[in-house]
Amino acid sequence: MSTAATAEATGTVGCACLAAANGEAAQADRLLRPLLPALTPWLVGRRWFTHEHGCMTELAPVTGSVLRQDGDEGDAAVLVHLLVEARYPAAAARRYQLLLGLRQTLPPVLGPAAVGAALGDPWDGWQLYEATADPELMSLLLDRTAAGESTRSLLLSTTSAQPLPSGLAPRALAVEQSNSTVVYGDRLLLKVFRQPEPGPHPETEVLSALTRLGSTRTPHLAGWLHTPGTGRGSTVLGILEDFLPADGDGWELAVRQAVDCLSDDRRGASVIEGFTHDSHTLGRAVAEVHRALADAFPTVRLKAQQIIDTVADMDRRLAAATAAVPAMEAYGSRISAVYDDFAQAALQGRGLDGQRVHGDLHLGQVLRGRDGWKVIDFEGEPARPIGERGLPQSPLRDVAGMLRSFDYAAQHALFELRSPGAEAKGADAVAERLRQERRARAWTVRNRRAFCDGYAEAGDTDPRVHPIAMRAFETDKAVYEALYEAAHRPAWLPVPMAAIRRTVGSREASTAVPARGGHRSAGGTAGPAAEAPGR
């Protein structure tokens, strides 16, 4: 759509105040103002909205554009694309990307996506809704951007000289976390980043590099949506990648099999072994991705200061978790000793290799298809600033995240087998509960072992020959989980706390390295994790 068409759609043709530097902000403000009364309460209830300390004082426009079919008039659907900032009195502003639909009358099929009514020109009384739910508008978005018809705030760059396929029927995926996802004809997947930040995006960087290498364990990148400009002057708004048909993600498949294992009284090999073949092949797949990342990006030997900074980050998470979880106080010194062991081992000649990693690896980040496991979602750790997510890290951190996820899957299976709030009564019920708990722990141990076996076979190292580093990374992950659970799912807090007890217990049984080795830097507290752990 041309700039003139965009301006005409919003009633701003010929307005002098839209010239030059103020044009973009004024355009976005005019788009946003009639939507605010309905938009604000809807926005703060989204899964991807971050609640800061203190109330939001303002929802301010950054950029905005309108897309509509050429020649459409009357009650035809309109797509409004907005970047807005939520501002707070005592916290940094957060930027959000909104894809909003407007119709004079909302059809029943779009009822669940309703936001409210617009108030004021140019859409007074029109119905406002989440546009990713509307196939007509999602087709419009891809067709227009793929054709090179950019707006003030939307461009599409592609990785191939070949045109994207057209006429693909879009559908939104129902399960959302911090992003929104639309699938086009089971061939392409558009992931919309709801909290985009200026500058390069880690997922675009990683998938671009792995696509060039021809990686078979990750989706191929077809293109990315972004604002005009290059480098830090542009913001990546979303990525377009190959859609990967799958039996399910690793979390769903693992929990399903763990439930079967825990509830089945038989002792057959199929029940006892269960998911271990999948865990083994998953370990191989993750190792292959790590090797591809090492080929695509520089590898380094982490310097002493980088090790010290890594442990300082662990300290900050521990301090935040101890403040949020009183029970953590009893383990604080022993957790610190685990971190000291790691720092001393890394600093006293053994060193640590660093490279580009996934950064947030768990069972929910892998898909099992007909040709094996695929690793997805390379955005990195949500709580880490986006500019830091591409820094070299030990691949053992990814391994630790996956090993912790097996523990979560087994505990989730236990939860599914019990009624919420139910207490075991009677000797038989207590015995059955203990049997299930033993099986859950055995399931976890078997699958962790199988994953490490596969990783060692296909990778450059066996994680088990690095017990000190692995213990530190797993403990740090469990602390991260405890902080999240305390804030969002208190009923799940026993899962990471049990892992912490096991970890510090194993440390005491295997080493006597003194605590507080003097290598630490001062640190404050970290904010809560942005994504549910374990999956």
Q: Has residue 178 been placed in a domain?
A: yes
Q: Has residue 532 been placed in a domain?
A: no
Confidence at residue 385, expressed as pLDDT on a 0 to 100 scale: 86
Same structural domain, 395 and 505 = yes
Confidence at residue 238, expressed as pLDDT on a 0 to 100 scale: 97
Q: How many domains are there within the chain?
A: 2
Confidence at residue 271, expressed as pLDDT on a 0 to 100 scale: 53
Number of neighbouring beta carbons within 10 Å of residue 290: 26
d(CA 45, CA 115): 11
The alpha carbon of 130 is separated from its chain's Cα centroid by a whole number of angstroms, namely 21
The alpha carbon of 365 is separated from its chain's Cα centroid by a whole number of angstroms, namely 8
d(CA 385, CA 1): 34
Same structural domain, 122 and 253 = no
Same structural domain, 404 and 438 = yes
DSSP 3-state of 183: strand
d(CA 49, CA 175): 15
Write out the two tokens for 201: 């995006």
Kindly give the interhelix angle for 467-488 and 304-324, rounded to the nearest 10 degrees: 30
218, 242, 266 — which closes off a domain? 242
Same structural domain, 253 and 224 = no
d(CA 4, CA 234): 23
Same structural domain, 217 and 337 = no
pLDDT tens, per residue, the chain with 535 residues: 333 333 333 333 223 333 334 567 777 888 899 999 999 999 999 989 988 877 899 999 999 999 988 766 667 899 999 999 999 998 899 999 999 999 999 999 999 999 999 999 889 999 999 999 999 999 999 999 988 776 667 899 999 888 899 899 999 998 657 899 999 999 999 999 999 999 899 999 999 999 999 999 999 999 999 998 776 778 999 999 999 999 999 999 999 999 999 887 655 445 556 799 999 999 999 999 999 999 999 999 999 999 999 999 999 999 999 999 999 999 999 999 999 999 999 988 667 899 999 999 999 999 999 999 999 999 998 878 888 899 999 999 999 999 999 999 999 999 888 755 555 567 777 888 888 999 999 999 999 999 999 999 999 899 999 999 999 999 999 999 999 999 889 999 999 999 999 988 766 666 543 333 333 332 332 333 345 777 7
Q: Which domain holds residue 428?
A: 248-510
Same structural domain, 262 and 169 = no
Same structural domain, 206 and 283 = no
Same structural domain, 233 and 272 = no
Q: Has residue 531 been placed in a domain?
A: no
Distances (CA, A) of 446 to 149, 258, 273, 443: 54, 11, 8, 5
**Terminal alpha carbon distance of the chain:** 40
Q: Has residue 526 been placed in a domain?
A: no
Same structural domain, 234 and 256 = no
CATH of the domain at 277: 3.90.1200.10
CA angle 402, 404, 406 (to 5 degrees): 75
Task: Indicate the pairing of strand 372-375 with strand 366-369.
Answer: antiparallel
d(CA 137, CA 172): 12
Radius of gyration of the chain (CA): 25
Closest CA to 366 of 353, 358, 375, 357: 375
Task: Indicate the pairing of strand 300-301 with strand 372-375.
Answer: unpaired
Cross-strand pairs, 191: 181, 239
Same structural domain, 384 and 235 = no
Write out the two tokens for 113: 């996506």
Kindly give the interhelix angle for 250-263 and 426-458, rounded to the nearest 10 degrees: 140
Sign of the CA dihedral running 133, 139, 140, 146: positive
Q: Has residue 262 been placed in a domain?
A: yes
Q: Has residue 348 been placed in a domain?
A: yes
CA angle 34, 39, 40 (to 5 degrees): 115
212, 242, 272 — which closes off a domain? 242
Q: Has residue 124 been placed in a domain?
A: yes
188, 213, 242 — which closes off a domain? 242
In degrees to the nearest 10, what's the CA dihedral of 165, 168, 174, 175? -20
Same structural domain, 446 and 388 = yes
Confirm if 277 and 263 have CB atoms less than 8 A apart: no
Q: Has residue 102 been placed in a domain?
A: yes
- The helix or strand, by DSSP H or E, that contains position 399, with its residue range, turns out to be helix 396-416
Same structural domain, 226 and 258 = no
Instruction: Quickly list DSSP for 300-351.
Output: EE--HHHHHHHHHHHHHHHHHHHHH-GGGGGGHHHHHHHHHHHHHHIIIII-
DSSP 3-state of 488: helix
Instruction: Quickly list DSSP for 225-268.
Output: EE-SSSGGGSBEEEEEEE----SEEHHHHHHHHHHHHHH-----
Cross-strand pairs, 281: none
Residue 122, preceding peptide bond in cis (omega within 30° of 0): yes
Sign of the CA dihedral running 101, 105, 110, 112: positive
Sequence letter at residue 233: G
How long is the chain?
535
